[in-house]
Amino acid sequence: MAEKLFGTDGVRGTANVRPMTADMALRIGAAAGRYFRNDGSNGHRVVIGKDTRLSGYMFENALTAGLTSTGMNVLLLGPVPTPAVGMLTTSMRADVGIMISASHNPHHDNGIKFFGPDGYKLSDEAQTAIEELIASDIEPAQAANIGRARRIDDGRFRYAERVKSTFPSGMRLDGLKVVIDCANGAAYRVAPEVLWEMGATVIPVGTSPDGFNINDGCGSTNTQLAAETIVAHGADVGICLDGDADRVMILDETGKVADGDQLMALMADRWASQGRLAGDTLVATVMSNLGLERYLTGKGLHLERTKVGDRYVVEAMRSRGFNLGGEQSGHIVMTDYATTGDGLLAGVQFLAAMIDSGQKASALTQQFETVPQMLKNVRYAAGADPLSAANVSSAIADAETKLTGKGRLLIRKSGTEPLVRVMAECEDPVMLEAVVDGIVAEVEAASA
């Protein structure tokens, strides 16, 4: 049986530790090349982007070697946001796109995620087929059919034009002071450029990558630096991206953070009022706050929930014909414009709402009252299965009984780390804490 390498968002792990080794990246590249170059011709292309991690050089070269060994022609984009790879895969008529990134993780991690020729992330079936090829003897191309590799210098400019094209015609950002935190990651050049070209006064932070400082004290998961910068400069709004710029957190003029749920609520309401929200439905994951669901219901709109992971959000959107979705963590997917979560694009749409409405960021980022939510992570030993333990099952059943009619409970394993995530929502904060801590204690006991 082939080794399971793909998680909820590609292959991910610590650089130079299996499966994120140069040798494995070469095999992944060769397997992907064999899967997509299935007719033996030499016209097949793959685009490769990356963020700013030091290990990106290693994985870029290893993937290129594997892909060209099976006859694929490689187009190297350099540091670009993940959504740029999805966009350029289609615009450059490539068979597959690859992004080298571990998103919001620290520099010592890295990952490899794939986009199909339609710009959307690969299906589970395609990933399984590639895993099977990795485990087999991969047949290389004949010497005359080895692929070529070349650098593409204008990838970020093409992406910038796509983002700007989504902004209302004739609208400008003149007079708006914007803090943009690029997490020392993939958007460190393109995001400030886009906002400046649209007329904003731009205050950039997290734009000096050195290979090690990606997501370090900055970005969408560490917003304090951006908040302090907003206050210090009297900025109107802050846009915080993560390492590969596929997610965003919006900060208001006081530095207060609004998560993806608030942004999705705003966009759903705006699009619905404009007759643009397909099926009057927003797609979000099981992690989205109960307050979001109540807000949408009050507007006569619907919330469709999926498993955690933006790829599952996108799959539901595509299968049901919906055009707006995302995650509480800041992946905002607008399939009218992009094939995956796009932090910069979502930030630009928020700025359009500010200009169009004439309201401050603080007014637009408080669309609904959140139901108190608590999330705790419990690490367990590799190979263990604490959720199958009798004491854990009993604690979960007891918690569900207590929360009936008062809130909800979600227990799940992380798709990228050996963690059990315990999340609950309840308007009674005392009960909320007791429920979460009780389950956490039992999971810890089962993991000891």
What are the C-alpha distances in Å from 189 to residues 138, 153, 403? 38, 13, 47
Residues recorded for the chain: 448
Distance CA 273, CA 388 (A): 46
Which of 101, 103, 220, 288 is labelled catalytic? 103
Is the previous residue joined to 372 through a cis bond, with omega within 30 degrees of 0?
Answer: no
Cis peptide before 19 (omega within 30 of 0): yes
Nearest to 119 by CA among 142, 88, 146, 76: 88
Query: Residue 139, Cβ neighbours under 10 Å: how many?
Result: 11
Q: Measured over all CA atoms, what is the biggest interatomic distance in the chain, rounded to whole angstroms?
A: 70
**Tokens read off for 128:** 């399984």
CB atoms within 10 A of CB 382: 5
Contact indicator for 443, 422 with CB cutoff of 8 Å: yes
| Pair 293, 303: CB distance under 8 Å | yes
Is 319 an active-site residue? no
Q: Write out the catalytic residue numbers.
A: 103
